[in-house]
Structure formats: structure tokens, C-alpha cells
Amino acid sequence: MMKYRRLSREQLEELHKEFINFLATQSITAQEWDKIKREKPEVAEQEIDVFSDLIWEGVLSRVAYLENISSTNMHLFFCAEKEMKLISVRVLNPDLDLRTQEGFEWFRKNWQSDFVEYLTASKAYSEDPGLDKFRLIEQGAAITKGTLFKWFEEIIEIQ
């Protein structure tokens, strides 16, 4: 049973060398892998699922910042050791789209206006921080370097 989700074909192709190493750790050669795919496709599927979960575990363990930006909302997350911190930004201008350059430029000039609302929150992780992060990614969050979060954190602390 998978914990996360199977990597896409493109992701698996990008990680081809890592997958070969993964098979090698189980003493599975290229010839044996071809035979498994032919004769026991369900075993091949299971191996791909296990590999996918291992990759996700590694990625999620290193995630520090996530962003989910829609036309009028920004949800910026900092994944601290014991909790997730959220800075939520809501723009009260339905004609704006923060995902466009024009929309973001408007926001940069007007972030202090009455048309912008801010909220901060913290939430302890569940028993599985990796799964908490994964769920946010599945809901559309992107892994980032945290530039926006850090910028807001400074501004919110200054005021």
C-alpha cells in the first residue's frame, strides 16, 4: 500500500539512474527487471510504488517552504521542526490575479492597502509531518525557497 503517490512517467524517467540504483540494492539486474516486467507485472508495479514512496520521503524530509497561490489568495507555509507556520494573504479585488505579473505588481505596490488582509497561524504536525506536507502539495502547493514567506515575516514583525 502506497503512502504517497506513484511518480509520473516523466518523474520516473528523470530518476532513471536512481531507480537503477534502487533495483541494484535489491540485487535486481537489468535482465531480471525486464523479466519481472514481462512475467510478474504486479511485482514491477509494487517496486515502482516502493521507489516512489522512498523518493517522496526524501523530498518531503527536506521541504522547508510551501506556497499555494490562487488568483486572490496566497498561503505561504514554513515547515518548522514541530509545526507548520502559515502566512495567509487575501486580496479583496476580484479583478486581480496574483498569478500574473500584473497582479503581483499591483500587490507589491498595494500590500498595505485596505484591499489586502493578512492572517498568521501555526499548527502542530499530525503523527506524520511528511504526509501533512504531501497533502498540501496535492492541494496545489509548490515547494519553494521561502522568499515570499521570509519577506512577509519581516514585514509583519516590523508593523
pLDDT score of 111: 87
Band of residue 158 on the pLDDT scale cut at 50, 70, 90:
very low
Distance CA(159)–CA(27), nearest Å, equals 59
pLDDT at 159 over 70: no
pLDDT tens digits, one per residue of 84-142: 999 999 999 888 899 999 999 999 898 888 899 999 999 999 999 999 999 999 999 99
DSSP 65-125: EEEEE-SSEEEEEEE-SSEEEEEEEEE--TT--TTSHHHHHHHHHHTTSTTEEEEEEEEE-
For residues 5-15, average pLDDT: 93
112 compared with 77, residue with greater pLDDT: 77
- Looking at every residue in the chain, the average pLDDT score rounds to 92
Take residue 116 and report the three cell numbers written for it. 489586502
In the numeric block, the cell 525486464 is attached to 34
Stretch 39-67: mean pLDDT: 95
pTM of the model: 0.84
